[in-house]
Structure 1
Amino acid sequence: MSQLPHQPPGRSPRYPPHDYAAFPKDLRGKRILLCTESFGPVNGVSRTTLMLVDHLRANGALVAVVAPLNHTKHDTFAPSAPEGTRPEDTLVEVRLQGYPLPFNPELSVVYPVRVSTLFTRTFGPDNPPDLIYLASPASLGFQVMLQVRQQPRDKRVPVMCNFQTDLAGYCSILFPHPFNTIAVFAFAMVQSYLFRHDSVKTLFYPSRFVRRYLEGQGVQSDKMELLRRGVNTDLFCPGRRSEKLRREIAPDGEMILICVSRIAGEKGFDFLAEAAKELDARGVRFKLYIVGGNRNQDVEREVHAMFDPLLDEGKVIFAGFKTGEDLATAYASGDIFLHCSVTETFGLVVLESMASGVPVVARDEGGPSDIIDDGRCGHLVPPEDLGGFVDRVAALAKDPARRAAMAREARSMACEATWEKINNQVAWRMADTIEERRRELAQVGKARQHAPLFESASQLAPLYGWVMMNDAAREVITSRIVDAKLAGGLGIVVTFWLFTGLYLAFTEVVLWTKGRFPRLSRSRRGSAAGLV
């Protein structure tokens, strides 16, 4: 049986238990530098990060957000300011230049940046942050972690990470063989090197799937902590079901199957397209309503082509981007939610669908495996079992009583996952980490009073306490040790940048080829389909 969203969150053994119904008072007035790879209406990670920022600011924490520049024309989320505060005190937001990813222009590879520059642009040169929080670290987060670990211990700002994106999983899908294997290895090596360092105090993970991956990279168990996701049950609720929208989608009363996802190859649309064609072949009367988009029109066209001829027949409808109440109405107006991605570390759309009173059929891989109680609020199907997936959808389509019972259970389970408690869990861990650093600095200060030379040397090379040598020899060895450590770290991260560059070059060539030779692209896709 899957773990349910309302089960108590996992707690790191390093810190004491807290009442997550309350916000930690000690965090008020503390400076938090929050770095995120996306901050806008892009995906579940962005929405999760925005809600955390709003929650921290509303309770008096000073949060400065650093994120890549938004390269799209779509409106960004606007963080809210706590009442009674000046905007300049709370709404610090720094946007960095980067290279937009070809398959997903909402995300960018951030150009190299110095952490000291981020400190200066957010809280000022004389006020370093009390804590650094990295939301789904990648190009920006990796740079921050690498630079922080090179700082002297007494200058090293503690880091907390929230692992929300399966970068290695994306590589395994987007890259052709054998480059996908090499890229997955490169990402694993970089993440292992960065996450295991003692500058990273806490690493939040959303599901057992992610924990197993992190354990495989050698991340210490005492710094890993389970962090579920919440859902806005006032926004996403069955009451937003719209009969008007249902008539527009399915004027002849067809079953409405809904999917909410960014339109991209790694989101499992090839599987969804095959499932839709099989449902049609079995005579199931349905309309597949797909909400989401991609700013790269070439990518959208490629995904749309997967659904031919159903798209031309009007059985598949691409609705484009939706946010807020429009998105909530779309969820609630569906009959069955279909989730086909196998790269989700959590799957916020699954929880939003459940809150909307819509049962879910999903592939049993990644985060959804921990959200869905199979047979109670929906069904989990082995990832490659297309026939089983279609069987579950067809059976629910023919059984309205079963769908209604699952809808009630789904709503009940989702109502147990509140954002306030989840964000308070993060806030308490922030307060614990800041207090832990305060105690560490106090101990360092006492140690320096007694043995300043030994203390500073032992930070860099423990051999000082074991080997007697003169000051000149010590200085040479210290320099070489630091250089070797820095070179090793840079070598690992440069490997990451190398494969990121290869990915960008590869995708740009693919998109150019498809745009220049569309007939060739279609003929190859048809040939491949004939071989399946």
Structure 2
Amino acid sequence: MAPASLNGSAQYPEHDLSEFPASLKGKRILLCTESFGPVNGVSRTTLMLVNHLRDHGVQVAVVAPHNHTNTNTFSPPPSPTLSPADKQPEVRVTGYPLPFNPELSIVYPVRNSTLYSRTFGDDAPPDLIYLASPASLGFQVMLQLRQQPKEKQIPVICNFQTDLAGYCSILFPAPLSHAAVFAFDAVQSYLFRHSSIKTIFYPSRFVRRYLESQKIQSNKLEVLTRGVNTTMFNPSRRSEALRKEIAPNGEIIFVTVSRIAGEKGFDFLAKVAKELDARGLPFKMLIVGGNRNPDVEKEVQELFDPLRTKGSVVFAGFKVGEDLATAYASGDVFLHCSVTETFGLVVLESMASGVPVVARDEGGPSDIVSHGDTGYLVPPDDLDGFVAKAVKLAEDHQLRLTMAKQARAAACEATWEKINNKVAWRMADTIVQREEEQRKAPQQSESAAVSTAAAAQQLVPVYGWLMMNNALRETVTRSVVDARLMGGLGVILSFWVITGAYVAFTEGLLWAKGRMRAGDRNAPLSK
């Protein structure tokens, strides 16, 4: 088999992605992620990578916020070839859960030195840091690395999997949305352009265009799609019993799998459902997913009334494993209405299940769906066009079968092994590159190192948590602060202020709506 290309630049060599890099075995990888549990595509992708690395003898320490829902958590097994296993811990840090998505948290300030100590120990810093979809935790890690002397900056690989700015533009009310988008753009641009960030994986052309618009160096950008478990997600899991339960009269079954939240395009999907009903199409719409915040879930469900109350739209709740695979395969057409997906793993899982897709042509699905072959892509605001394609697939049985076979074949080309090996090779090459740089670079004198570190620490008191150790805390003086570093701090702090304001706004809004619903339930019926 011909070697697969690792990237399109000369920065790193090419490798055979069917093989795992032997040089990575035994290396220490600190993996920080904003959520860790089978709650979304990002978490499932991260779990696949952790298991793959550990299976090949890599020491992986996982750092993630506490799961405030107390459900759907997991701890991947340690590497079977390394000892002791306690050098591959899962460390949970504290944070405040977001009201609209309690699986995610705003992580409270934490020092990198603390993370190193709690994972591999004070005397064994990680060889590399991997940031899965960096946000509140990842931003803190990157900002602190900027203050270290160059020779102590641990190299970082980021996987950009979540369009935070896009979510802000949908979730936040104006003018807060404009300020939040600006803050995210500024933070990500400031952090990603630093020399400690060696590679930024991106899942689709949509994301690359965004990163380039933020002036991120093109030689750092590397495409990384996702794989799919084609054994789990398989047309053979189609259940006639489930189909009979959902559509007893043989109606066409549309399926959607998504976290139940406003930013996932449910307002558009509700309009689609009502238009399908207005055209007289006999259908059932199965929506799989939920939200740990019942008020948010209730708001989305109410968008589908009165179709929900008469049984045309069915909310099935969270499903995982075989139950999720069965739900996919038992549908006829998959409808994807989110425009904020950087990849869209649910689209690939649907295709692997032999179910053609109708998706809005925005974000990751644009790179997954082959228009006219495995499904249809429709301009994001074209409601009539979306409904027309859904109706066409619903009414043409032979077209559905043809697209289903082509969708399955396309999904079988995406394997987790090659994708995770691609990440592993980039890790190995990055570590080797750093080791070579350290051998060649002249050693900075101790006095110069102290001077550099002290200058980076001369910041306002709120920044004290970023100091690397107690000795440096005592070296703070009144000398001039690095203007660029202070500028970065200002941007970061503005982000936290905006996010905090929005959290307070959302909490208050959800509380008020909850009280209103309770009042409506308790109100006496009019005569």
What TM-score, normalized by structure 1, do the two folds share? 0.90
Question: Tell me, which stretches of 5 or more residues in structure 1 are unaligned?
Answer: 1-6, 462-475, 523-532
Aligned ranges for residues 431-446 of structure 1 at < 5 Å?
A: 431-444=428-441
Asked whether the 8 Å contact 2:239–2:330 carries over to 1, the reply is: yes
The answer for the alignment partner of 1:516 in structure 2 is: 515
What SS is found at the alignment partner of 1:95?
strand
Give the C-alpha shift of residue 315 in structure 1: 0.5
1:412 aligns with 2:409: yes
The answer for the alignment partner of 1:485 in structure 2 is: 484
Give the C-alpha shift of residue 269 in structure 1: 0.3
The answer for the alignment partner of 1:236 in structure 2 is: 233
What SS is found at the alignment partner of 2:227?
coil
Aligned equivalents of 1:481, 1:366: Cα separation in 2: 44
1:283-309 alpha-carbon deviations (Å, 9 max, x no partner): 111110000000000001100100000
Asked whether the 8 Å contact 2:5–2:14 carries over to 1, the reply is: no
Aligned ranges for residues 248-263 of structure 1 at < 5 Å?
A: 248-263=245-260
Residues 1:282 and 1:53: Cα distance change in structure 2 (over 3 Å): same
Residues 1:498 and 1:8: Cα distance change in structure 2 (over 3 Å): same
Give the C-alpha shift of residue 359 in structure 1: 0.1
What SS is found at the alignment partner of 2:343?
coil
Aligned equivalents of 2:190, 2:292: Cα separation in 1: 33
Residues 1:87 and 1:12: Cα distance change in structure 2 (over 3 Å): farther
The answer for the alignment partner of 1:303 in structure 2 is: 300
Aligned equivalents of 1:9, 1:432: Cα separation in 2: 11
What SS is found at the alignment partner of 1:232?
coil
Aligned equivalents of 2:55, 2:180: Cα separation in 1: 41
Give the C-alpha shift of residue 18 in structure 1: 0.7
Residues 1:338 and 1:9: Cα distance change in structure 2 (over 3 Å): farther
Give the C-alpha shift of residue 91 in structure 1: 3.8
Asked whether the 8 Å contact 1:241–1:329 carries over to 2, the reply is: yes
Q: Return the letter of the residue paired with 1:486.
A: L
Residues 1:245 and 1:64: Cα distance change in structure 2 (over 3 Å): same
1:371-397 alpha-carbon deviations (Å, 9 max, x no partner): 011000000000000000000000110
The answer for the alignment partner of 1:4 in structure 2 is: none
Aligned ranges for residues 452-463 of structure 1 at < 5 Å?
A: none
The answer for the alignment partner of 1:73 in structure 2 is: 70
Aligned ranges for residues 105-124 of structure 1 at < 5 Å?
A: 105-124=102-121
Aligned ranges for residues 201-350 of structure 1 at < 5 Å?
A: 201-350=198-347
Asked whether the 8 Å contact 1:81–1:87 carries over to 2, the reply is: no
Match for residue 351 of structure 2 among 354, 364, 381: 354
Give the C-alpha shift of residue 509 in structure 1: 1.6
Aligned equivalents of 1:368, 1:411: Cα separation in 2: 15
Aligned equivalents of 2:373, 2:295: Cα separation in 1: 39
Aligned equivalents of 1:247, 1:488: Cα separation in 2: 61
Give the C-alpha shift of residue 495 in structure 1: 1.2
Residues 1:75 and 1:23: Cα distance change in structure 2 (over 3 Å): same
1:165-218 alpha-carbon deviations (Å, 9 max, x no partner): 000000000111222111101100000000000010000000000000000100
Asked whether the 8 Å contact 1:79–1:91 carries over to 2, the reply is: no
Q: Return the letter of the residue paired with 2:233.
A: F
Asked whether the 8 Å contact 2:228–2:352 carries over to 1, the reply is: yes
What TM-score, normalized by structure 2, do the two folds share? 0.91
Match for residue 82 of structure 1 among 79, 96, 105: 79
1:455-474 alpha-carbon deviations (Å, 9 max, x no partner): 9999999xxxxxxxxxxxxx
Give the C-alpha shift of residue 434 in structure 1: 0.3
Aligned equivalents of 2:87, 2:449: Cα separation in 1: 38
Asked whether the 8 Å contact 1:260–1:292 carries over to 2, the reply is: yes
Match for residue 386 of structure 2 among 377, 386, 389: 389
1:134-191 alpha-carbon deviations (Å, 9 max, x no partner): 0000000000000011101111111110000000000000111222111101100000
1:199 aligns with 2:203: no
The answer for the alignment partner of 1:526 in structure 2 is: none
1:93 aligns with 2:90: yes
What SS is found at the alignment partner of 1:352?
helix
Residues 1:375 and 1:519: Cα distance change in structure 2 (over 3 Å): farther
Asked whether the 8 Å contact 1:12–1:224 carries over to 2, the reply is: no
Residues 1:71 and 1:458: Cα distance change in structure 2 (over 3 Å): closer
The answer for the alignment partner of 1:135 in structure 2 is: 132
The answer for the alignment partner of 1:167 in structure 2 is: 164
Asked whether the 8 Å contact 1:360–1:378 carries over to 2, the reply is: yes
Asked whether the 8 Å contact 1:514–1:521 carries over to 2, the reply is: no
1:403 aligns with 2:395: no
Asked whether the 8 Å contact 1:14–1:223 carries over to 2, the reply is: no
The sequence identity of aligned pairs, in percent, is 68
What SS is found at the alignment partner of 2:315?
strand
1:81-100 alpha-carbon deviations (Å, 9 max, x no partner): 33354572454100011000
Residues 1:8 and 1:126: Cα distance change in structure 2 (over 3 Å): closer
- Tell me the number of residue pairs that the alignment of Structure 1 and Structure 2 aligns: 498
Give the C-alpha shift of residue 78 in structure 1: 3.0
Asked whether the 8 Å contact 1:11–1:17 carries over to 2, the reply is: no
Give the C-alpha shift of residue 453 in structure 1: 8.2
Q: Return the letter of the residue paired with 2:409.
A: S
1:335-370 alpha-carbon deviations (Å, 9 max, x no partner): 000000000000000000000000000000000001
Aligned equivalents of 1:453, 1:295: Cα separation in 2: 52
Aligned equivalents of 2:232, 2:8: Cα separation in 1: 29
Aligned equivalents of 2:414, 2:328: Cα separation in 1: 18
Aligned equivalents of 1:70, 1:293: Cα separation in 2: 16
Question: Tell me, which stretches of 5 or more residues in structure 2 are unaligned?
Answer: 456-474, 522-527
Give the C-alpha shift of residue 257 in structure 1: 0.4
Q: Return the letter of the residue paired with 2:203.
A: P
Q: Return the letter of the residue paired with 2:498.
A: F
